[in-house]
Structure 1
Amino acid sequence: MTQTPRNQSKKKAESENTPGPVAVLRSAREQLAELTGLTAESVSSFERTDDGWDLAVEVLELARVPDTMSLLATYAVTLDPQGELTGYKRVRRYERGRADPSRPGG
C-alpha cells in the first residue's frame, strides 16, 4: 500500500511535533517527581506505543543509612505522544541493596 503525498506530509508533521526519547524521559522524570514529591532516580525501561509512551521509573521512596537500605520503587508511567504524563502506579518496592531473586534459565 503506497501513501499519498498528503498522508506522508501528515505523518512528517506529526513526527516533527513528537518529542524524541531523551526529551520524553527527562520530562517524565520531572513530571513524576513534581506529582509525587519523590526523587526519580532513573528510567529502567521505555517503549513507544500507539497511544504514546510506557516507562518504568525507579524512584527513591525512603532514604536510609546506610544507603543500601534505602527503599526504592518502580513506577509504571504512561505518557501521551507529546510526552505529557497521563498516569502512573507503583508496581514494585524494594531495598536498594537487594537484587531480584534469580529465575530459572536466566
Structure 2
Amino acid sequence: MTNTNNTSESQGSQHSSRKQHKSHKSQESHQESHESRGPRPMEVLREARAQLAELTGMTAESVSSFEQTEEGWVLEVEVLELQRVPDTMSLMGSYQVELDSQGQLTGYRRVRRYERGRADSRGSGGR
C-alpha cells in the first residue's frame, strides 16, 4: 500500500513539473515574440519625444500624428520653439520624426512653424 501511495505521489509531482515546464516555455515564447515584434506603440511615442527633445534642446509637447511603416515609424511632434508672454504668442514647430523598427530616431525635420494661438489653416481646407 505504501508503494501505491508513492507511485501516485510521484505521478502527481511529475504532472506538476510538466505543467510548470509548459508554463515556463509559454512565457519564454511570449517574451521572444514580443522582442521580435519590437517596441509597443506607446514606448515608441515616449522614446521619440525624448530623443527629439535631447537632440534639439526643445520641449516636445505632443504627438499630432503617428504611423507605422515598413521601415519603422513616422510621427509628427509638436515642439515649443520659443516661449513668449502671453503663451498664445509662443512659437511652435511641427516636426516630422522618423524612427527605425526598434524605435531609434533616424531623422527629423521641421515641417511647419506657427504661433500657439493661431488656428490651423491646413485643417480648414484652404489657405
TM-score of the aligned structures, taking structure 2 as reference length: 0.69
In the alignment, residue 73 of structure 1 is paired with which amino acid? G
Shift of 1:35: 0.3
Shift of 1:49: 0.4
Structure with bigger gyration radius:
2
Task: Name 1:23's counterpart in structure 2.
Answer: 43
Residue 110 (structure 2) pairs with residue 90 (structure 1) = yes
Shift of 1:14: 1.9
Cα separation, 1, equivalents of 2:88 and 2:57: 21
Cα separation, 1, equivalents of 2:96 and 2:47: 15
Task: Name 1:65's counterpart in structure 2.
Answer: 85
Residue 69 (structure 2) pairs with residue 49 (structure 1) = yes
Q: Which residues of structure 2 form unaligned runs of 5+?
A: 1-32
Cα separation, 1, equivalents of 2:77 and 2:95: 5
The 4+ residue runs of structure 1 with deviation greater than 4 A are none
Secondary structure of residue in 1 paired with 2:50: helix
Shift of 1:100: 1.5
In the alignment, residue 81 of structure 1 is paired with which amino acid? S
Q: Which residues of structure 1 form unaligned runs of 5+?
A: 1-11
Cα separation, 1, equivalents of 2:40 and 2:65: 15
- Superposed CA deviations along residues 3-48 of structure 1, whole A, max 9, x for unmatched, are xxxxxxxxx4521xx0011000000000000000000000000100
Aligned residues: 92
TM-score of the aligned structures, taking structure 1 as reference length: 0.83
In the alignment, residue 116 of structure 2 is paired with which amino acid? R
In the alignment, residue 113 of structure 2 is paired with which amino acid? R
In the alignment, residue 32 of structure 1 is paired with which amino acid? L
Cα separation, 2, equivalents of 1:70 and 1:56: 19
Q: More helix by proportion, 1 or 2? A: 2
Cα separation, 2, equivalents of 1:97 and 1:38: 19
The alignment's C-alpha RMSD in Å is 1.4
